[in-house]
Structure 1
């Protein structure tokens, strides 16, 4: 890889980390409520989802992109899952039990495996993420003459840059935990539920958009 290619891949990973979406908010919430290690476990699941999508995009390429943009059912399913997940998060009363004093009470045990798969699934149900990586494969692949080694290195740098930037966000968000009371923490969780439901609603709404308007530029905006 040339210096410019490495620089471009690092910048892409950096900016992807700050694209606003369900994963972005859930990562921050997990870091604040459960701590940095829990958030990193969640984020590794997200990265695995990206890797799976990149592999699907690489081997499926343009033909799969055409299927996605013409099949609104994928948006309905993904949006419905986000809506249900957001509703469950909003209605969950477990955090309310610790709203008794001014100190944040965290569960003694954190299920890192569960958080890992939660990150994977939350990323995997977002059809826009797959469309994004498909677009990247088409653009980057052509620029790199579809050289498998160069493509692998390019996307590896993107994901490493993405992960390192996320770790920075996690550590910064963790600092906020010291200033949070249980009552504020409970409100953060309910707000997270509302945000997830909003993203789910708009994902379903996208399924009603006429097929001719469902192009790559539309779905790229759904990334994280």
Structure 2
């Protein structure tokens, strides 16, 4: 079991260094709303990852047989991400040094993190590839080992995302509004490019990997 935990933590650290729209959104949220706002966002991402890992472990065979369900899901997800990206580009950011958030605001950032990931069908296929790869190269992995393994992976990612939020918050006082707006526009542009690429691949190549 110690080997399973160590392997899960190791893979979680590696996967935590992969960047994407959620990475920049996490940094932006932490800079704007502080550590707790960033952690709320990170918990939303974590919850989406948990659902997708569970789905990929228990339903990958069905998804492989019913791949046509991914096309409408991908189109909807692309449009949602496109809207998020446009919103980020158009939104003018003002830095507020008071970072005490209400329960409603915490819930809002949790939902933003969750929605950004749950409407991204490539994340589902990403976790399917990770889970199937781990299981295929580990013949002695049974359910009692797989669940602790991926629990360690996901919890490690959550911990590192929390560290990202912490340091982004600590450095936020050195960031001026113009710099934050540039970060906002860059994050929005990245999300738009990602959404358009996803839509292109769905329509013209009929795949999302």
Is TM more than 0.5 here? yes
Matches within 5 A, 1:53-92: 53-68=52-67, 71-92=70-91
Matched residue of 1:53: which SS? helix
User: 1-side partners of 2:33 and 2:114: how far apart?
Assistant: 18
Of 166, 174, 177, the match for 2:169: 174
Aligned partner of 1:121 in structure 2 is 115
Matched residue of 2:66: which SS? helix
Structure 1 stretches of 5 or more lacking a match?
99-103, 220-224
Aligned partner of 1:28 in structure 2 is 27
TM-score by length of 2: 0.87
Number of positions where the alignment pairs a residue of Structure 1 with one of Structure 2: 205
Of 88, 91, 106, the match for 1:112: 106
Aligned partner of 1:195 in structure 2 is 190
User: 2-side partners of 1:67 and 1:169: how far apart?
Assistant: 37
TM-score by length of 1: 0.82
Structure 2 stretches of 5 or more lacking a match?
none
User: 1-side partners of 2:67 and 2:112: how far apart?
Assistant: 23
Could you tell me how far 1:108 is from its partner in structure 2? 5.9
| 1:138 matches 2:137 | no
Return closer, same or farther for 1:106/1:86 CA change in 2, 3 Å cut-off: farther
Could you tell me how far 1:66 is from its partner in structure 2? 4.3
User: 2-side partners of 1:68 and 1:40: how far apart?
Assistant: 34
Give deviations 1:172-215, integer Å, cap 9, x for gaps. 2223212112232233222222221111111111213434xx4x
* Cα RMSD after superposing both structures: 2.2
